[in-house]
Structure 1
Amino acid sequence: MKKLDHPNLVLLYEAIDVPTSDSLYLVLEFMSGGTVMNIKLGETTTPLQTEVAREYFRQLVLGLEYLHGNDVAHRDE
């Protein structure tokens, strides 16, 4: 995963597996805007304009296409 490089992916710098526990730590690129899952529409933000939403979705699909092309299956909860 550390060798993957695409403008629509968050960089993975290091994966740390702790052998004495079930913990796995991922050191990722800092994203100042936070996670997409933290956006609560209707509370503090307004819906995106159609063209902006379309561009974000295009970037998301390009990132997933790159991952799948490199035999990486993505799963988000």
Structure 2
Amino acid sequence: MRLLRLRRPTPPVPCADPPAPPRPVLLREDALVRQLADGSVEPNIWAICPAEERARLHALHADRSRTCWTCRWTTQGDS
């Protein structure tokens, strides 16, 4: 009769931690003012959404129109 050879358990291999996500870079105030002025970013405001009839966060555009972030309804701005 043949004896089975017992295998030694292998030690667990330590898992490497996933890389941490990069930290966001804070925007300086002068850069924000410049981007707001040239229209590359837009401010957000809370307003009543005409489609949903409740307060929602809206993007405020340069022509004073607003776009709801929830339903994408856009109000008419200054023409």
TM bin, normalised by shorter chain, reads under 0.3
- Structure with a larger share of its residues in strand: 2
TM-score (norm 1): 0.27
Query: Which one scores higher on RCO, CA 8 angstroms, separation ≥ 6?
Result: 1
- Structure with a larger share of its residues in helix: 1
Larger Rg: 2
